[in-house]
Each structure stands twice: as C-alpha cells, then as structure tokens.
C-alpha cells in the first residue's frame, strides 16, 4: 500500500508497503527525489517497503539522494526509523567504508507529531495529519489519515479506518478523496475484517457527505485467495451506488490522477 502525491515539484509518499519502491521506479520517480514519506499506521502492509525505499535512495546508481531520508507521522515513526538504521547499519558502514556513498545521505530523520494538525508546510504544500479509527476498540493506535493542500487543490487519504467523522471534517470538498474499502461476495463473511474497515455502502455515505471532485478506492480488501470469494470492481461500484451517485474510480497500481483547475483527469496504468 502506497500513494504518491506530487505538488509544486515535491514528491510525497504516503505509506510504503510491499513493492512501493518498484512502483515508484515504474512511475518514473527517482528514488533520490522523495521529499518525505508519511505513515498512516504501522501495520506491515504499510511499512514493509520502507527499508527498500530508504536504502535504495542513497545508492548513487539507484537514487543518489542528497541529504537524509525524511520520515513523518504519528508518535512511533522514530522508533521505526531508528530501528531500520540499527538493522541496516552494516550496509551503511560498508558502503561508506568502500567510498560508495556519502554518509550524509544515509540517515533517516523522523518527524513525529500528535494528530489533527499541519505537520508539513513547504513551498506552498501543506500536509495535515488527522486521527482515524482502525478497529472498534482502538487497539490499533496510532492510526491517522492525511490531507494534502496546494494552490487550492486538495487530496485526502483516509488511511485504514472504519467510517469516521474526521474524514468528513477534513475531506469535505476535496478534489480527490482516496478511501480504503473492504468487501466480499458474502458481506457476512469475515465480520472481524469488516469491523476494521469501511464497506462500500458506508464509503458511499462518506462520499455523499464530502462531495469530492473524484472519489477513489485504494487499499481494497477483497476476499482471501482460495478461501473467501471477493467481488469484481463492478459489484464494488454497484454497492457504493446504493449511497453515492458522484464521480468514483476503483484504484489500481500505477493509476494516476491529475488535478487541473476544472477537473480530475485519470491516467490508466
């Protein structure tokens, strides 16, 4: 799971799950030119691509980053950043000893914040981090979403969450609202999974309340291969249409959206 937001020359990455580094490269984004990685929570599917993104970015042949790798998010990101540096200390040490990399490019600088505030503000691009709820008992903490603003254009990323008021508060009228969703052929299957996510009817209610220029599904929890049947995109859309009639796209890897002054243009992968 990972989402790239580009604004005013900045490359901001939200979550760094499996394969994110490969996809960034496929998208033509030099690994050395990532200006910040923001985590929504610390489940492995949002974090396990982080080491690759950081480590590959300071290798001159792959990324050639100037300066450190900036990691942003709720309290706990420093633990992850420091832990990765500890884990991969030998890689850094030998590349520095071998005169392959500049040590000033190998660090992870972690920026931790409490939620519900602007946590990044550079070159006219502001990132607001807000609290969400990933499970009914709030066992999974921290859990946040993000809103990105630049030049009257805005994107909201829900993070992993059940339906929460904060997505409506921060997401009303955004150009692109990216929301997670979970559904199965049999909606009664896997009640515990349902209780940790948002179903299409609930997402539709959120889209109706916020009226984004484009609603987008990402982080689509859809069946378990060989065990629980998932649903095709058409069914996901159909079930969302029970509560929402505005613009809607089911996201795919490498799909991109360009926000212009008048509309949101979609590029298929």
Q: Which residues bind Zn ion (CB under 5 A)?
A: 43, 45, 160
Give the nearest distance from C-beta 91 to Zn ion in angstroms: 27
What are the CA-CA distances from residue 174 to residues 1, 55, 138, 224 (Å)?
21, 34, 27, 32
The residue (of 65 and 197) whose beta carbon lies closer to Zn ion is 197
Nearest to 158 by CA among 123, 182, 187, 126: 182
Omega cis (within 30) before 142: yes
* Spatial separation of the C-alpha atoms in residues 36 and 130, rounded to whole Å: 17
**What tokens were used for 230?**
């998932």
The residue (of 143 and 176) whose beta carbon lies closer to Zn ion is 143
The residue (of 90 and 137) whose beta carbon lies closer to Zn ion is 137
* 8 Å CB contact between 20 and 57: no
The residue (of 43 and 201) whose beta carbon lies closer to Zn ion is 43
The residue (of 35 and 141) whose beta carbon lies closer to Zn ion is 141
Give the nearest distance from C-beta 64 to Zn ion in angstroms: 31
Give the nearest distance from C-beta 186 to Zn ion in angstroms: 21
* Spatial separation of the C-alpha atoms in residues 114 and 248, rounded to whole Å: 32
Nearest to 56 by CA among 68, 65, 47: 65
Beta bridge partners of 118: 128
What are the CA-CA distances from residue 177 to residues 62, 78, 117, 148, 173 (Å)?
32, 28, 18, 10, 9
The residue (of 7 and 144) whose beta carbon lies closer to Zn ion is 144
Give the nearest distance from C-beta 160 to Zn ion in angstroms: 4
Give the nearest distance from C-beta 218 to Zn ion in angstroms: 10
The residue (of 41 and 65) whose beta carbon lies closer to Zn ion is 41
* Spatial separation of the C-alpha atoms in residues 164 and 176, rounded to whole Å: 17
Give the nearest distance from C-beta 45 to Zn ion in angstroms: 5
Rg (the chain; Cα; Å)? 19
**What tokens were used for 242?**
């029970």
* Spatial separation of the C-alpha atoms in residues 197 and 179, rounded to whole Å: 10
Give the nearest distance from C-beta 87 to Zn ion in angstroms: 22
């Amino acid at each position: 799971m990972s989402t790239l937001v580009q604004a005013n020359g900045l490359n901001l990455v939200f979550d760094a799950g499996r394969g994110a580094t490969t996809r960034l490269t496929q998208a033509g984004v030099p690994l050395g030119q990532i200006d910040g990685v923001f985590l929504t929570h610390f489940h492995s599917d949002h974090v396990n691509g982080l080491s690759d993104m950081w480590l590959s970015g300071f290798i001159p042949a792959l990324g050639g980053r100037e300066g450190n790798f900036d990691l942003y998010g709720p309290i706990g990101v420093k633990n992850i950043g420091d832990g990765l540096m500890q884990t991969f200390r030998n890689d850094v040490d030998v590349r520095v000893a071998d005169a392959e990399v500049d040590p000033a490019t190998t660090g992870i600088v972690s920026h931790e914040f409490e939620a519900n505030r602007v946590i990044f503000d550079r070159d006219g691009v502001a990132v607001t981090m807000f609290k969400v709820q990933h499970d009914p008992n709030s066992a999974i903490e921290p859990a946040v979403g993000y809103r990105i603003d630049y030049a009257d254009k805005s994107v909201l990323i829900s993070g992993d969450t059940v339906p929460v008021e904060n997505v409506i508060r921060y997401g009303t009228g955004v150009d692109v609202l990216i929301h997670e969703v979970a559904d199965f052929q049999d909606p009664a299957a896997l009640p515990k999974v349902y209780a940790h996510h948002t179903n299409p009817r609930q997402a539709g209610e959120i889209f109706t309340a916020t009226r984004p220029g484009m609603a987008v599904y990402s982080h689509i929890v859809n069946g378990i291969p060989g065990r629980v049947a998932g649903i095709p995109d058409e069914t996901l859309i159909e079930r969302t249409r029970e509560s929402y009639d505005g613009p809607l796209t089911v996201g795919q890897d490498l799909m991109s959206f360009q926000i212009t002054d008048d509309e949101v243009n979609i590029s298929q992968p």
